[in-house]
Amino acid sequence: MATRYPAIDEKHRRFIERQHVFFTASAAEGTRVNLSPRGTDSFRILTPNRVVYLDRTGSGNETAAHMKADGRLTIMFCAFEGPPNILRLYGRGRVVHRGTGEYAALLSERFAGNEPLGTRQFMVQDIDLVQTSCGYGVPFLEYKGERPSMDNWAENKGADGLLAYQREKNVTSMDGLPTGLFEEAPIPAG
């Protein structure tokens, strides 16, 4: 039932664009596997073999630690509406830190310069395999809208509070791996 492709084609692109959520999975040797849901408003297809998503401050920074230590990243989309389908993007990921030229270019060119409060970094994935499968076991769910919780939380923290939170919670993974958050470029307040 699974079909493999070397890259994202137009049918895959249209499927991705219809989804409201995607999931990222990563791990490094000797660590727990991290699996996180994310809203597709943060996701962009750069080329048929490269994607990026804007990563906001969260309770941990596991994916960044895994990218620094290992690099393996899987991104999954599944249909909760319409015909059943699961689409996975396999490949290697890397972090693009705030304050770098690449970060500025991605923000400007792919996100119209819109940097939500609490943005931490970008995650870029180079894809070596696209796989679709039936999705028959995925239930129907009704999309009702985006939650305002992330924006509200970031606004309540403010720029200085977010920076303090990142320094407390996002510098190492739950397994003690460094995330590199403050190593490559300083995070400007605001």
Q: What would the pLDDT profile of 2-48 be if each residue is shown by its tens digit?
A: 999 999 999 999 999 999 999 999 999 999 999 999 999 999 999 99
Give the whole-angstrom CA distance, residue 174 versus residue 185. 22
pLDDT at 184: 58
Helix, strand or coil for residue 56?
strand
Give the whole-angstrom CA distance, residue 125 versus residue 104. 17
pLDDT at 92: 98
In this predicted structure, the answer to whether residue 188 has a pLDDT above a threshold of 60 is no
Q: Which burial class, exposed, middle or buried, applies to 172 when counting CB atoms under 10 A from its CB (0-12, 13-18, 19+)?
A: middle
Give the whole-angstrom CA distance, residue 111 versus residue 109. 6
Angle at 93 between CA 30 and CA 150, to 5 degrees: 90
Query: The whole model's pTM is what?
Result: 0.94
Q: What would the pLDDT profile of 51-107 be if each residue is shown by its tens digit?
A: 999 999 999 999 999 999 999 999 999 999 999 999 999 999 999 999 999 999 999
Helix, strand or coil for residue 85?
coil
Nearest CA among 81, 64, 78, 46 for reference residue 119 = 64
**pLDDT-derived band at 183, boundaries 50, 70, 90:** confident
Q: What would the pLDDT profile of 127-162 be if each residue is shown by its tens digit?
A: 999 999 999 999 999 999 999 999 999 999 999 999
In the chain, which residue ranges form alpha helices assigned H by DSSP?
10-18, 62-69, 101-110, 149-169
Sign of torsion over alpha carbons 129, 41, 182, 154 = negative
Domain 3-136+148-169 has CATH 2.30.110.10: yes
In the block, residue with structure tokens 């923000």? 107
**pLDDT-derived band at 189, boundaries 50, 70, 90:** very low
pLDDT at 185: 55
In this predicted structure, the answer to whether residue 178 has a pLDDT above a threshold of 80 is yes
Residue 101 — φ and ψ, nearest 5°? -65, -40
In this predicted structure, the answer to whether residue 190 has a pLDDT above a threshold of 90 is no
Helix, strand or coil for residue 127?
strand
Domain parsing of the chain, residue ranges: 3-136+148-169
